[in-house]
Amino acid sequence: MGSNADRNLLTCVNCGRIYSDEVLICPICGWLTIFKYSNRAFRVDKAEPGIWRYRSVLPKVDRVVSKGEGLTPVNNIGGVLVKNERYNPTGTYSDRASSVIASYVLSKGLTTIRTKFEEDFTYSLTYYLIGVSSIEVVVGDPLSLDYLDVDILLRAGNVKLIFDENEKASLLGYTSPLTIEGLKTIAFEIYERRLRVERVVVPARTGLLAYSIWKGFRDLEDAGVNASYEVVATSIKGMGNPILPEFAKSIKLVEISRDEAFDSLVKLWKNGVKTKPLSASAYAIAENMGNSVAVVTMGFRPLSAGRRTDKGVRKEIIRILEKSGGATAYEVWKVFPAYSLRGIYKVLESMEEMGEVCSDFKSRGKRKIKYYRVC
């Protein structure tokens, strides 16, 4: 759709060759391509859902799939600013990527896509592709799956698990230019809020998140906006070096020792915040460097084994209850048209048993109504 001038342009992160079509991997050097924009003005379209408020600097798609991802809060946790990615529909920043990928899949009319199993990312993507396409999830080693993974994925109904030792590269996996476009919206939100910090500190396993945020700031500059934030990627010694920041020399990489990461994890826990060691490392470095915002998933409550089913739904319920301050089962159900009301009652009941949500009774006329809220 649209004229050639509207088409998406991509450039290879390694060799810089430019491709006029949607070439997601450089055919010459095998590296990722990234979306490149020219003559785009940065605009915030508040009427657009989720991350699509930044549509002016996102890939052109004809149809958008959004489930309310993005616009996550900035919390002050123990004196450190935290952009808390827990407040996404499935509880992770992957939802930003899934929204772009699902929109791309829908706009291209793809009926099946193939992706490599990558835990949180795969759960998020399956959630976003419900009603859009079916997904073949490629598992490289069946021994790496536990029965809960199988359960979560197959329950989604649109997933086919495939065993393939070679784990053929999939264009719509986590490492994709579409993922970068979704994740970079974190930079736009930081800019839109005019956060008065000098740097953004990002946990880096592969480095894709740090790279994406860095690219978001570059895209803003290309659109004539001055958003001068430094990006710092953090890692724990021995975890292996993240790769992508190599293509963005101005990203500073800081490593923390296992001891320091552990201390930070325990300190956060004592302050009532549960998170993962890598997130704790970003928090620690933001605290040490000062004048920073850490982009992390904090406060995540791991579900006990055996009850992890409907993981995405549980996280979404918590998000709804946090946003609304409390809701009835019926009000919660209205957000999940794919589920039966009885199904939502069951999920809420088991969440209450596990102490994930609490409830109060309020009178409405002669009736007593049960309201659920976050404990």
C-alpha span between 193 and 73 (Å, rounded):
10
**Nearest CA to 98 among 159, 161, 176?**
176
Binding residue for Zn ion (CB under 5 A) from 11, 14, 134, 328? 14
Q: Count residues near Zn ion (CB under 5 A).
A: 6
CB of 69 to Zn ion, least distance (A): 30
C-alpha span between 115 and 88 (Å, rounded):
21
Specify the residue, 21 or 259, whose C-beta has the smaller distance to Zn ion. 21
* Phi, psi of 118, deg, nearest 5: -135, 55
C-alpha span between 223 and 220 (Å, rounded):
5
Residues 6+ apart with CB under 8 A from 269: none
Specify the residue, 15 or 44, whose C-beta has the smaller distance to Zn ion. 15
CB of 15 to Zn ion, least distance (A): 3
Residues 6+ apart with CB under 8 A from 187: 200, 212, 213, 214, 215, 216, 217, 219, 220, 227, 229
CB of 31 to Zn ion, least distance (A): 5
Binding residue for Zn ion (CB under 5 A) from 9, 10, 23, 26? 26
State which amino acid sits at residue 203: P
Write the interaction track for Zn ion spanning residues 341-370; mark x where CB under 5 A is met and - where it is not.
------------------------------
CB of 25 to Zn ion, least distance (A): 9
Specify the residue, 26 or 102, whose C-beta has the smaller distance to Zn ion. 26
Q: Locate tokens 């579900």: which residue?
A: 303
Specify the residue, 6 or 21, whose C-beta has the smaller distance to Zn ion. 21
- Rule CB under 5 A: which of 141-170 touch Zn ion? none
Specify the residue, 12 or 61, whose C-beta has the smaller distance to Zn ion. 12
- Other C-beta atoms within 10 Å of 170: how many? 17
Rg over CA atoms, the chain: 21
C-alpha span between 116 and 312 (Å, rounded):
19
**Nearest CA to 198 among 288, 293, 283?**
293
CB of 30 to Zn ion, least distance (A): 7
- Other C-beta atoms within 10 Å of 324: how many? 14
Query: In which element (H, E) is residue 341 found?
Result: helix 341-353
**Residue 44 contacts Zn ion per CB under 5 A:** no
Segment near Zn ion (CB under 5 A); pick from 14-22, 48-56, 179-187, 239-247: 14-22
C-alpha span between 87 and 78 (Å, rounded):
19
C-alpha span between 310 and 226 (Å, rounded):
42
Binding residue for Zn ion (CB under 5 A) from 18, 20, 29, 243? 29
C-alpha span between 290 and 29 (Å, rounded):
39
Query: Do the Cβ atoms of 220 and 188 come closer than 8 Å?
Result: yes
**Residue 15 contacts Zn ion per CB under 5 A:** yes
Segment near Zn ion (CB under 5 A); pick from 12-20, 51-59, 207-215, 282-290: 12-20
Segment near Zn ion (CB under 5 A); pick from 8-16, 205-213, 282-290, 338-346: 8-16
Binding residue for Zn ion (CB under 5 A) from 8, 9, 10, 12? 12
Specify the residue, 19 or 339, whose C-beta has the smaller distance to Zn ion. 19
Binding residue for Zn ion (CB under 5 A) from 18, 20, 28, 240? 28
**Residue 11 contacts Zn ion per CB under 5 A:** no
Specify the residue, 14 or 324, whose C-beta has the smaller distance to Zn ion. 14
Query: In which element (H, E) is residue 82 found?
Result: strand 80-84
According to DSSP, the residues that pair with 72 across neighbouring strands are none
Specify the residue, 30 or 240, whose C-beta has the smaller distance to Zn ion. 30
Segment near Zn ion (CB under 5 A); pick from 3-11, 23-31, 162-170, 315-323: 23-31
Specify the residue, 28 or 169, whose C-beta has the smaller distance to Zn ion. 28
What residues line the site for Zn ion (CB under 5 A)?
A: 12, 14-15, 26, 28-29
